[in-house]
Amino acid sequence: MLPKSQRIPRKDFSQILSLGRRYNSEHLLLYTRNLLTLGVSKFSFSVSKKVCKLAVGRNKLRRRGYNAIRRTGLIGPMCHIKPGYFCFFSFKKNSSSISFSLLEQEILHLLQDSGVIL
């Protein structure tokens, strides 16, 4: 799990979904919003009940997403993310059995397409 300072608060979800830019991959949707006043980029993952009925499965996908962000070196002292971005990932219906390596690749690809990575 990411530290709370690097996660998007729930109250900002609707703002990101309505005003943010949207990017697609096979298993994920990425919504980004650039807030110049924010010093650090923040991330969040959302898994609908349409993706996985059981909470265990939804939590597993969410944890995998946060671990993929952490393992790719996108956060921390050697950060490659531009500051001030909200990055909100949403899993699609067909993503309940996605492998971890494919998830990492899709996250990196979406962040590169959106211009969030330096």
| pTM for this prediction | 0.88
Residue 77 has a pLDDT of: 52
According to DSSP, the residues that pair with 24 across neighbouring strands are 29
Token digits for 4? 């709370």
- Cα dihedral sign for 74, 76, 79, 82? positive
Closest Cα to residue 88, out of 57, 54, 44? 44
Q: Kindly list the averaged pLDDT for each block of 10 residues, start to end, along the chain of length 118.
A: 82 90 95 84 92 94 90 64 88 91 92 87
Please provide the CATH number assigned to the domain covering 4-113: 3.30.230.10
| pLDDT for the residue 79 | 66
